[in-house]
Amino acid sequence: MGLKIQDGTGKGNLAGITSNNRILTSSVNESQFQFAAEEGDAYFIGVPLITLTNAAESAVAYIKNNGDEPLILGRFFLIAESTASGAPNMFRVNWYKNPTSISSGTATQPLNQNFGSSKTLEIDVEYGAQGSTVTGGALAATLSFPIGAFNDFESNLILPKGASLVITVTPPAGNTSMPVQFGARAIKYIKTY
């Protein structure tokens, strides 16, 4: 009789073998975000609608990671619902790396995507207002998006402990009223090996 591989949990099961002489296994393929949500470690970071009343740059979100594990911002969304008197029909978004604060910021909390979990993130999140400014940091990226569209994209931006990010929005020239909103999906870095 050949070698037997027994179940180490004491249930008495033996490993099955396929016709190709391979051990039978079962696996579930899911994204890291799905796994994190199941474990109570996936979060939504969002700000309420902020109405920008001119064409100047305004900080709309500040995020700082205070936790020991890196924070992964996996997907961003940015919406400008409409613009009154603004043209062209585009708005600009700036990402600032490692700023220290925004002016007129209001603290908010991320939402755990597993409503059965009481876990939280060790982060600071603030949303800005018309005219909120950025203190410190360096401009890391600038993109333009269409107004009146749901703009979402994968980012996989990593914020190690102590790192921060500010998102600013600049409406088009002539704008007198443009409601904007920012959101992101976030998880702690999960070491899987």
Q: Which domains does the chain have, with CATH numbers?
A: 32-188 (2.60.120)
* Mean per-residue pLDDT over the chain, rounded: 93
Give 14's pLDDT tier (boundaries 50, 70, 90): confident
The pLDDT, as a whole number, for residue 1 is 55
Mean pLDDT, residues 53-63: 98
Report how far apart, in Å, the C-alpha atoms of 149 and of each of 39, 82, 167, 172, 185 are.
Answer: 32, 9, 18, 15, 19
Give 31's pLDDT tier (boundaries 50, 70, 90): confident
Q: Is residue 178 pLDDT above 60, yes or no?
A: yes
Q: Is residue 56 pLDDT above 80, yes or no?
A: yes
Query: Residues 128-177: pLDDT tens digits?
Result: 999 999 999 999 999 999 999 999 999 889 999 999 999 999 999 999 99
Compute the distance between CA of residue 163 and CA of residue 37 in angstroms, rounded to an integer. Answer: 23
Report how far apart, in Å, the C-alpha atoms of 68 and of each of 46, 166, 183 are.
Answer: 22, 20, 23
Give 2's pLDDT tier (boundaries 50, 70, 90): low
The pLDDT, as a whole number, for residue 192 is 65
The pLDDT, as a whole number, for residue 193 is 60
Q: Is residue 30 pLDDT above 80, yes or no?
A: yes
Question: Are the C-beta atoms of 150 and 69 separated by less than 8 Å?
Answer: no
Mean pLDDT, residues 69-92: 95
Does residue 88 have a cis peptide bond before it, meaning omega lies within 30 degrees of 0?
yes
Q: Is residue 125 pLDDT above 60, yes or no?
A: yes
Compute the distance between CA of residue 120 and CA of residue 38 in angstroms, rounded to an integer. Answer: 14
31 contacts: CB under 8 Å, gap ≥ 6: none
Would strands 123-127 and 42-46 be described as parallel, antiparallel, or unpaired? Answer: unpaired
* pTM of the shown model: 0.86
